[in-house]
Structure 1
Amino acid sequence: MNLGRVVRLLSLTLALFLLMPAVASFAQTPVPPGPNTLTGPDVSNDQLLLQQLQGNLHGRVSIPDQKSAMLIQPEGQDWRALRDGTLKTVSAVVLLGMIAALVVFYVVRGKIRIDAGPSRRRIQRFNGMERFAHWITAASFLVLAVTGLNLVFGRWLLIPLLGPEAFATMTVYGKLAHNFLSFPFVLGIVLMLLIWVRHNIPNGSDIAWIKAAGGLFSKGKHPPAKKFNAGQKLIFWMVVAGGGVVAASGYVLLFPFAVTDIAGMQLAHLVHAILSVLLIAGIISHIYIGSIGMEGAFDAMGSGQVDVNWAREHHSLWLEEELRKGKAAGKPPTVGRQLPAE
């Protein structure tokens, strides 16, 4: 290599080195929006792009499913913001608020005891089929609730505790359980509707029960009720009607685009999420009353038999009907109020 070629090469290298800052500065300088003969209107960010689109952006596909041609749906941005922002915040407030309210109620009111004390007489409240319908619905709903909440809050709550790999594995199996256990949940809803609908028609005794708040806040003052009181009727219709809509919207999501388009699926997702949160909050209160909140309440769905004194205080009208049929078992109680003659 001669000396002149070396000098020219060094000069060119030095010139490029000196021009590099100017090139970098030019590349980083934002171009103001304006018409472009090659690409059309210039777009500097995603939001401006969506504004320029003014609707969905579709491409062209050669397969029969034309829905796959949709590239951008601007409304999806609003749906995602609502799902990941407002909906998640409100859901947390509703669920934590219900738990906090029950804790306060338990601290102030305590366990609701049988005022007359337990007797030695039991009466059949729910038979085997009734308990089967209840427990298949309850068990499947609990799994559906936990796996559904995991999809909403799990990434935020569980990944720091379990790590991403364990969380991913748990979520995959949880999603499978969520999908398949929806079927026994629906079966339970149908069974409960067929078995109990005639007992859950509102009547005049419900008004008195509501005025007295079910006697939950006052000891020794239990309004009369038939087989189901107004509070239980509310839970019944919440599970049957609300659970039915939750299941229907869930199947819309489980079988995408079978009955609606993307906008309909987004609406189904919001309906599914909102009603599910309200249903979970209501069931939390139901679980509380049926377990630690009220003495003798769990027996109704445990053994199927309840204490006669418990039945008299919480379902006196129903007890009177059953006693006339001679369905109470055991000896009369030695304490508390005496039973009417059979």
Structure 2
Amino acid sequence: MAFPVRVRLLVVAVALLSIAAAVPTQAQKRGPDGAPNPTASVIDEQTLLKQSPRVEGRVDIPDPRAGVLIEPAGRTWQYVHEVLLHRASAVIILGTIAILGLAYLSVGQIRIAEGRSGKKILRFKAFERFAHWLTAVSFVVLALTGLNLTFGKVLLLPVIGPDAFTLVSQAAKYVHDFTGFSFAIGLVLLVMIFFRDNLFQKIDLDWIKQGGGFIKNKHAPAGRFNFGEKLVYWFSMAGGAAVSVSGFLMLFPFFGFGIAGMQLAQIVHTVVAVLFIALILAHIYIGTIGMEGAFEAMGTGEVDLNWAKEHHDHWIAQQLAK
């Protein structure tokens, strides 16, 4: 037999063997009804379960993390995020509301001791009030939409039903994301405007010694802001910075951080946000029903002269001297 003929026969034999080997494979890729089975080449469920507790499959996309189906750390994270943080948040918020309610029932509204004088003095300029209300309104929107994302499935879903809840939650998510930018801008303005007036001074020690004015027959001296207001300011700035940074990290996920970093960002965001809400609830209480004349400062910008003498005597003395 000539050499070229042998070569041709060898090529034909190899081709036939290849076709024969491919036939079982094609048969395996079809289901019992003869239709193609797209999952025939995928790892079967029993093989995956043998990898427990961490189960990984094969993925064609570049991100290998998408192939992780079950991970013990993920189950722990789900319990912390969905159970422990929710319970702690509910206790903190409801506990704060209860404490403020008891304070109002036992103490009532703090009145102006000498009554209103009828004379007004400017306490906050228009731009200062704008910065405050920009931050305050943004915070309220963020708090309400954030609480819906946290407790909506338990509180709101049974009331309005799944269809309406889906629409509300989707809108709340987008509102929450975009309102974060106006909140961050408000924080920057508050730092620029009120930073100097909220630095701690010796007069703050005298305010603490006198019980902040809550002890009868004791007057607590204060400048433009007393020690309690300064604490609220600095806690608000620190809390606002923490929720802003962690919120932006979640808005742009995995930007320089892995899964552990994203989980930490969510924990920080939730814990600080809940404590922030409790702080602002107390701030709102004092600024509205808790103290007579306090809301006018950020409402119209002017306060009664007797109110200023009673709560910020050093500041009003400086203003009158000018």
TM-score calculated relative to the size of structure 1:
0.77
Distance in 1 (CA, whole Å) between partners of 2:146 and 2:47 is 45
Which of the numbers 287, 293, 297 marks the counterpart of 2:294? 297
Q: Find the counterpart in structure 2 of residue 145 from structure 1.
A: 143
List per-residue Cα deviations over 1:290-328 (Å, max 9, x = no partner): 011100000110010111110111111111111111xxx
**Stretch of structure 1 that moved more, 266-275 or 159-168:** 159-168
One-letter code aligned to 1:225: A
Q: Find the counterpart in structure 1 of residue 254 from structure 2.
A: 257
How many residue pairs get aligned? The number is 278
Q: Find the counterpart in structure 1 of residue 3 from structure 2.
A: none
Q: 1:42 to 1:181 in 2, by over 3 A?
A: closer
One-letter code aligned to 1:74: P
Distance in 1 (CA, whole Å) between partners of 2:217 and 2:296 is 21
Q: 1:150 to 1:39 in 2, by over 3 A?
A: closer
Distance in 2 (CA, whole Å) between partners of 1:235 and 1:126 is 17
Which of the numbers 166, 171, 186 marks the counterpart of 1:173? 171
Distance in 1 (CA, whole Å) between partners of 2:163 and 2:245 is 32
- For the residue of structure 2 that corresponds to 1:75, the secondary structure is helix
Matches within 5 A, 1:116-195: 116-195=114-193
* Structure 1 residue 255, shift from structure 2 partner: 0.7
One-letter code aligned to 2:97: I
Q: 1:157 to 1:176 in 2, by over 3 A?
A: same
Q: 1:211 to 1:162 in 2, by over 3 A?
A: farther
Q: 1:68 to 1:307 in 2, by over 3 A?
A: same
Q: Is the 8 A contact 2:187 2:240 kept in 1?
A: yes
Distance in 2 (CA, whole Å) between partners of 1:86 and 1:207 is 39
* Pair 1:96 & 2:94 matched: yes
Q: 1:39 to 1:117 in 2, by over 3 A?
A: closer
Distance in 2 (CA, whole Å) between partners of 1:208 and 1:150 is 43
Q: Is the 8 A contact 2:222 2:315 kept in 1?
A: yes
- For the residue of structure 1 that corresponds to 2:256, the secondary structure is coil
* Structure 1 residue 230, shift from structure 2 partner: 1.1
Matches within 5 A, 1:1-342: 49-50=52-53, 53=54, 57-216=55-214, 218-325=215-322
Q: Is the 8 A contact 1:252 1:259 kept in 2?
A: no
- Identity percentage of aligned residues: 49
Unaligned runs of 5+ residues in structure 2 are 1-44
* Structure 1 residue 87, shift from structure 2 partner: 1.2
List per-residue Cα deviations over 1:80-120 (Å, max 9, x = no partner): 11112221111111111111111111111110000011112
Q: 1:166 to 1:70 in 2, by over 3 A?
A: same
Q: 1:167 to 1:222 in 2, by over 3 A?
A: farther
Distance in 1 (CA, whole Å) between partners of 2:173 and 2:154 is 17
One-letter code aligned to 2:104: Y
Distance in 1 (CA, whole Å) between partners of 2:151 and 2:117 is 46
Q: Is the 8 A contact 1:299 1:306 kept in 2?
A: yes
Distance in 2 (CA, whole Å) between partners of 1:260 and 1:186 is 22
List per-residue Cα deviations over 1:12-49 (Å, max 9, x = no partner): xxxxxxxxxxxxxxxxxxxxxxxxxx967975xxxx92
One-letter code aligned to 1:286: H
Distance in 1 (CA, whole Å) between partners of 2:96 and 2:208 is 20
Q: Find the counterpart in structure 1 of residue 41 from structure 2.
A: none
TM-score calculated relative to the size of structure 2:
0.82
- For the residue of structure 2 that corresponds to 1:249, the secondary structure is helix
* Structure 1 residue 226, shift from structure 2 partner: 0.7
One-letter code aligned to 1:79: W
* Structure 1 residue 58, shift from structure 2 partner: 4.5
- For the residue of structure 2 that corresponds to 1:306, the secondary structure is strand
RMSD of aligned alpha carbons? 1.9
Distance in 1 (CA, whole Å) between partners of 2:74 and 2:317 is 58
Larger helix proportion of the pair: 2
**Stretch of structure 1 that moved more, 157-166 or 67-76:** 67-76
One-letter code aligned to 1:180: F
